Structure 1
């Protein structure tokens, strides 16, 4: 009997997991068309590919997710409604603008701020230990070396065993020294090394945001580069 029921249980679990992923994808699509988003935000969907990016990171609607440095809320406006009913979205670092402008409204009223609202990296602690995922989009380059160490350690501590850490940022050439043109880019090899030093395991990388015609020479805000910068997309995991 055990040999019969075990495959059935496994098949049922797989179907349930697949259904949750499909439902989350549909929720993201609905959020993408929401009136809460500006036309400029919607115009970036094609380039940033949020549905595919979140699928690569394995995000589902029943997860507890922490977004770091949410900025103006581009991803927050997608994640908050998609996680509102069955999951949980947390925000940390540089959250004051969203706290005052967005988080008092539905469907953002269940979003919770943790850690530092400003950019206080000393003794950084998100005061969580059961997160399914920590995500940061195009922000890793903003931190200096000590701040990156602090962020990576805090992310590791906040995740449950098996939890994932997703990092997206503008690509800098490997071992290229910082200059006036590459300050908002980061060396992906160095990023991998630093995150691994915090205890994470590199699981996978994606070419979703690979741009063959970005020469990695110019500032990402230049007209010839903006919206077409090459970005690395890395998936790490906290060992179980």
Structure 2
């Protein structure tokens, strides 16, 4: 396959990367399973009583959960691990969708979601996976998750909080937790390709670097999506700046364990 990816450099789509020259990608991702039942469950979860008006307001404009989870290949009978769930924006959608047929695990930075969400009705099947004592997202040593043969691992805007060494340890642990054929979905804020660290880009990541790091852990790049691309963001400002917050350019990547 000769798949071309365009990533912003400067204010335009100036970097065109041909997979197969620097990267190895498998045949095009084909989602053959029927998504209709899963879509229905996601849409019902989006109307759940635990979701706040502020969370619902982000559905269509910013986060597009139906389209995002369909791209990642979610099915309602999967064993799924969500990393760094924060206050539970995606947990509130994933848990009801998987309840009964699949299973949701959460790991790393789970205190808030455990306190505010997991004790609510309908979230009792979600299981928290704990890191080894003393380990944090920013300082990960080699470790393993307390589960194997997962179908999917998802992380939304979290990898930028880690240094390269911690990301490598995390990617290794994710690889080992997935079954053969398991999927790894990543979304994060875009940094200009090859741009050195500066005061504005600390919470951004070069998507080409992310692809290389995850492939180094043994994954195959399956596909990419421009679902969360944003012309409002020229990649020069800190992601919390008032002119781009909630509208940052974000890359969306899907990987598979061979």
TM-score (norm 2): 0.83
- The structure that has the greater radius of gyration is 1
How big is the alpha-carbon RMSD for the aligned residues of Structure 1 and Structure 2? 1.5
Q: Is the 8 A contact 2:87 2:116 kept in 1?
A: no
Could you tell me how far 1:112 is from its partner in structure 2? 0.4
Aligned to 1:106: 121
Q: Is the 8 A contact 2:50 2:117 kept in 1?
A: no
Q: Is the 8 A contact 1:115 1:125 kept in 2?
A: no
Q: Which secondary structure state, in structure 2, belongs to the residue aligned with residue 229 of structure 1?
A: coil
Aligned to 1:45: 59
Long gaps (5+) in structure 2:
1-30
Alignment match of 2:77 (pick from 59, 62, 67)? 62
Aligned to 2:175: 156
Does residue 145 of structure 1 match 2:164?
yes
Count residues with an aligned counterpart: 223
In 2, Cα distance between the equivalents of 1:115 and 1:192? 26
In 2, Cα distance between the equivalents of 1:166 and 1:223? 28
Alignment match of 1:218 (pick from 237, 244, 251)? 237
User: Where is the helix percentage greater, Structure 1 or Structure 2?
Assistant: 1
Question: Which of structures 1 and 2 has the larger relative contact order (alpha carbons within 8 angstroms, sep 6+)?
Answer: 2
Aligned to 1:133: 152
User: Where is the strand percentage greater, Structure 1 or Structure 2?
Assistant: 2
Long gaps (5+) in structure 1:
1-13
Could you tell me how far 1:106 is from its partner in structure 2? 2.0
Q: Which secondary structure state, in structure 2, belongs to the residue aligned with residue 193 of structure 1?
A: helix
Instruction: Write out per-residue CA displacement over residues 131-161 of structure 1, whole angstroms, 9 at most, x where no aligned residue.
Output: 0000000001011111100110000000000
Could you tell me how far 1:129 is from its partner in structure 2? 1.9
Q: Which secondary structure state, in structure 1, belongs to the residue aligned with residue 212 of structure 2?
A: helix
